Amino acid sequence: MSEHRETAQSSSEPSGTTLLSAGSAAPDFTLNEAPGRAVTLSALRGKPVVLAFYPADWSPVCGDQMALYNEILADFREQGAELLGISVDGPWCHKAFAEARKLRFPLLADFEPKGAVSRAYGAYTDTGVSARALFVIDAAGVVRWSYLSPMGVNPGADGILAALERLTPEQRGTKAGASAANAPREGASDSAADRDAGAAP
């Protein structure tokens, strides 16, 4: 299935969208989660992050998609991942929607300048809303998987979970991965081991 590839786009993709591809550095951003409370992507370094861009609060497909992610939030967290929903709705709209749906993860307002973060990820449509796009970002801030769904189709969570499961320990930012990266190779000098540990995977 196309969801299982590193970067996948549907055959009926929204016009004007070309997703940021796997292997790209994830653009940093700071967006409001609620009035007076913001989330910065780079502050989450050290753990995987799932970005779920969606067109609008209150629409039937978006509501079902966010409700599904809320139901399986424990599955994302078992993989050590943080989930962030993003649309061009304002923070007060997000607050009301999250409370009505009892969502337990942040919804971020790509509101002003409108769609700036969505554009940075190639997930903004010519109709003025975010595309229905998913990204898995590793602990170092690199996009490892992305998927663009048709606007009227709930992409589900299987692709996200499969992408998270494929992350290496280093990409997850786990202690096991860090220990393996920092362990000196047999016969290597301390200085060489230090250089290897600092190298990007």
What domains can you pick out in the chain, each with its CATH number? Answer: 2-167 (3.40.30.10), 169-201 (no CATH)
Share of the chain above pLDDT 70, in %: 78
Residue 186 reports pLDDT greater than 50 = no
User: Is 93 a known active-site residue?
Assistant: no
pLDDT digits (tens, 9 = 90+) for 153-185: 999 999 999 999 999 999 999 864 444 444 444
pLDDT for 74: 97
Of 125, 117, 129, 47, the residue nearest 82 (C-alpha): 47
Torsion sign across C-alpha atoms 16, 111, 83, 176 = positive
Sign of the torsion angle spanned by Cα atoms 146, 117, 82, 182: positive
Q: What is the mean pLDDT of residues 113-136?
A: 97
pLDDT of residue 14: 52
Average pLDDT estimate for 148-153: 96
Q: Which of 160, 158, 172 is nearest to 201 (CA)?
A: 172
Cβ-Cβ contacts under 8 Å for 126 (sequence gap 6 or more): 14, 15, 16
**In whole angstroms, what is the distance from residue 183 CA to residue 151 CA?**
46
Q: Which of 8, 62, 81, 83 is catalytic?
A: 62
Per-residue model confidence (pLDDT) at position 148: 97
Identify the residue with better confidence: 17 or 135.
135
Phi, psi of 149 (to 5 degrees): -100, 150
Q: Which of 80, 78, 81, 85 has the alpha carbon at shortest distance from 63?
A: 85
CA angle 74, 83, 102 (to 5 degrees): 70
Lowest model confidence (mean pLDDT) among 2-11, 53-62, 110-119, 185-194: 185-194
Whole-number pLDDT of residue 34: 83
**What letter represents residue 184's amino acid?**
P
Instruction: Return d(Cα 175, Cα 87) in angstroms, integer.
Output: 33
